Amino acid sequence: MNKISDDAIMSALGRQMNTAVAKQGVAAGNLANLDTPGYRAKEVSFGDLLDGEVKRLGLTTTSQNQLPGVGETTPETRDAEELTSRRDGNNVQLDHELLTMTRATSDFTAAQTALSAKFRVIRFAINEGR
Q: Band the pLDDT of 47: cuts 50, 70, 90.
A: low
What integer pLDDT is reported at residue 71 of this predicted model? 37
Residue bearing the bigger pLDDT, 5 or 113:
113
**Long-range contact list for 25-28, CB < 8 A, 24+ apart?**
26/77, 26/100, 27/97, 27/98, 27/100, 27/101, 27/104, 28/101
Residue 66 φ then ψ, to 5°: -100, 140
- The residue-averaged pLDDT of 121-127 equals 86
Residues 6+ apart with CB under 8 A from 94: 31, 34
Give the C-alpha separation, 15 to 114, whole Å.
13
Provide the percentage of residues in the chain whose pLDDT is more than 90: 45
SS3 string of 70-111? CCCCCCCEEECCCCCCCCCCCCCCHHHHHHHHHHHHHHHHHH
Residue from 15, 65, 24 nearest 42 by CA: 24
pLDDT confidence of 58, banded at 50, 70, 90? Answer: low
SS3 state at 43: strand
Condensed to tens digits (0 to 9), the pLDDT of residues 61-119 reads 565 555 444 333 567 788 888 888 999 999 999 999 999 999 999 999 999 999 999 88
Find the Cα–Cα–Cα–Cα dihedral 82, 84, 90, 96, rounded to 10°.
Answer: -60
Sketch the domain layout of the chain as residue ranges: 6-126
- pLDDT more than 70, % of the chain: 73
Helix pair angle (6-32, 94-126), 10° resolution: 150
